[in-house]
Amino acid sequence: MDFLELCKRRYSVRDYSPRPVEREKLDYIMECVRLAPSAVNFQPWRFLLVSDEAGRAKVVSCYSREWVKTAPMFVVVCNDRTAEWVRRSDQMPHGRIDVAIATEHLCLAAAEQGLGTCWVCNFDVHKLSEAFGLPENLEPVVIVPMGYPAQDAVPEKQRKDLQQLMV
């Protein structure tokens, strides 16, 4: 499959099969994530993989949407504030940008492996940090539910025309 086809295939999955993600696929996906580019190659991302029942309940308590309960696992992507590059000219930290790049590598690699994902950014960051005892330097940026899409999952992918995106 070429890259354009992969981009067309990937969508935000909001209904998952209970089937667990195989370790081999997870290892492959995380290797793709490890290779993501970052500002000055600082790689400030840190990943919390959550698949056990107690951990999944903690994640769900921070984003209480019914559909998210169907995900067999979550990847919590954090920015290590002590490892992010800061642009000198305006002091803009790039950790969140780097985390976004790594997260999209994760989502595309998962799609290539037949798995579904969804970006979740509207969650209780403080509650999630407390629930997992994350140190202060680790800022949870995105939760990625991941698993096999349910048989009746509905691919929703509305995109603007290219001309609407051009300046």
pLDDT in tens, 48-71: 999 999 999 999 999 989 999 999
Residue 17 lies in a domain: yes
Total domain count for the chain?
Answer: 1
What is the per-residue pLDDT for 117?
98
Residue 165 lies in a domain: no
Tens digit of pLDDT per residue, the chain (167 long)?
899 999 999 999 999 999 999 999 999 999 999 999 999 999 999 999 999 999 999 999 999 899 999 999 999 999 999 999 999 999 999 999 999 999 999 999 999 999 999 999 999 999 999 999 999 999 999 999 999 999 988 787 788 999 999 99
140 sits in which H/E element? strand 138-147
Report the predicted TM-score, pTM, of the whole model to 2 decimal places. 0.94
CATH number of the CATH domain containing 65:
3.40.109.10
Burial of 10 (0-12, 13-18, 19+ CB in 10 A): buried
